[in-house]
Amino acid sequence: MMVFLTAHSQTIEVCSDCSVKRIQEAIDQANPHDTILVKSGEYHEGNIVIDKPLKLIGIDFPIIDGDHDNEILTILADSVLVDGFQIQNVGTSYIKDQAGINVVKKDYVTIQNNKLINTFFGIYLQKSQYTKVINNEVFGDAQEEMSSGNAIHLWHCKNILIADNHVKNHRDGIYLEFVDDSRIENNRSEGHLRYGLHFMFSNNDDYISNTFYDNGAGVAVMFSRGIKMKENIFQKNWGSSSYGLLLKEIYDGEITHNKFIENTIGIYGESATRNRIANNDFIRNGWAFKVLGSCMDNVITANNFAGNTFDIATNSSRNYNKFDGNYWSEYAGYDLDRDGIGDVPHRPVKLFSYVVTRVDASIILLRSMFIDIINFAEKVTPMFTPATLLDNTPRMKPLSTL
C-alpha cells in the first residue's frame, strides 16, 4: 500500500497497479480525515459505503459504475469530500430511492466537480445540514416520470448550498422538500419531464441566477414562506399546462430581476399572498402572469411586459393586488407632461383572456376582428374584467431591470 504520511493524516492511492485496487478497501483501511486518491480507470464495486470523515478525490475522472443494479456512493459520516469522479449507471428501483451519491443524516459534506450519468437519483441529501453541492454535471435519460428520479434531491435539510451545477433530463432537476435557510445559485436545469426546480414546505431560501430552460414546467414553489428568487432566467417552458414559475400557497416572497421569456405562462399565482414581484422582464410569453382570485396583497411593480399574447389574466371580477409603475408594450395612452408616466391608467386584462380562462377552445379565435372589437369595448366600459385591476402609473418606456 502506498501511503503518504503527514502530521495528522495519510493519503492512500487506489489504481489497478496500486497495492490497493478497490475504493471500498481503501475506505476500510483509512483512518478518519485521511485522503484517498483514486486514479483514472473503471471501478465496479457495487454499493460503496463511506462511514468515516474522508476526502475521496478522483484523478482524471475515474469511473465508478453501478452496473444498472446498485446505489453507488452512500455517505454515512460527517465531513466527507467527494471530488472529481464520473459516477454512472445506478439501478432503477420502484421501492427504494437509489442514487449516485446518497448522504444519509450527515452534515458538512461537500460534493463537487463530479459527473453523474444515468443515475436514477443523482445526488440525494436526507436530513443533512451545512452540505455543499457544487459544480457537478448530472445528466439522465428520463423517459417517463414513474421510472425516473430527480437530479438533485433534498429532504428535511437546512443550510445547504447548491451552486454551479448543470442538471438535465430527469423527472425534476432540483427537488426540495422541508428545506430551510438554503441557497440555490447559478445552476442550469433543462430538459426535465416535470419541473426544473420543485420545492414544497421550504422556508427562507434564496434562488439566485439560475436558468430553467425547456422543462415540462420551469419552477414550482408551493406551501412556503420567505422565498427570494432573483436574477433567474425562465425560458421556453412550453406545454398545455406549463409555466415558468408556479406560486401556490407562498407568502412573503420576493421575485425580482428575473427574465420570463417564451413560456406558456410566465408566472401562475394561486393563493399567493404578500409577495413583491418587481423589476422582472416578461417577454413573448403566452400569458405573462395568470393571477387567480385567491391571490391577495401582492405588489407587482417596475416590470416590463413586452410582446406577450396576454399580459395579465384572471378568473375573478375582483382584484386584491397592486399593479402600478410597470411598462406595458400594449399601452396606448399618452404622456402630455412628459414625465415618463402615462396620463391615463392602463387596463392589462383583456376580455378575451377572461373568456379563455373559462373556455380553453376559444383560443382559436385569438386573431379575429371580433375579438379586437370585444376587447376594445371592455376596455372602454369594464363589465367582466376587474375594474380595479389597472396600472395607475404605467411607464412609457421599458424600465431597467438589472
pLDDT of the residue at 1: 41
| DSSP sequence for 214-272 | S-SEEEEEEEEES-EEES-EEE---STT--SEEEEEEES-EEES-EEES-SEEEEEES-
pLDDT of the residue at 363: 53
Burial class (CB in 10 A: 0-12, 13-18, 19+), 318: exposed
- What domains can be seen in the chain, in order of their start residue? 1-215 (2.160.20.10), 227-402 (no CATH)
Question: What is d(CA 165, CA 154) in angstroms, rounded to the nearest whole number?
Answer: 15
Contacts by 361-366 with C-beta closer than 8 Å and gap 24+? Answer: 366/309
Question: What is d(CA 76, CA 172) in angstroms, rounded to the nearest whole number?
Answer: 25
Residue among 189, 196, 256 nearest 229 (CA): 256
Question: What is d(CA 103, CA 106) in angstroms, rounded to the nearest whole number?
Answer: 6
pLDDT of the residue at 143: 83
pLDDT of the residue at 11: 96
Q: What is the pTM of this model?
A: 0.90
Question: What is d(CA 135, CA 165) in angstroms, rounded to the nearest whole number?
Answer: 5
Residue among 201, 279, 199 nearest 245 (CA): 199
pLDDT of the residue at 388: 84
Question: What is d(CA 121, CA 148) in angstroms, rounded to the nearest whole number?
Answer: 8
Residues of the chain with pLDDT under 70: 1-8, 351-385
Burial class (CB in 10 A: 0-12, 13-18, 19+), 26: buried
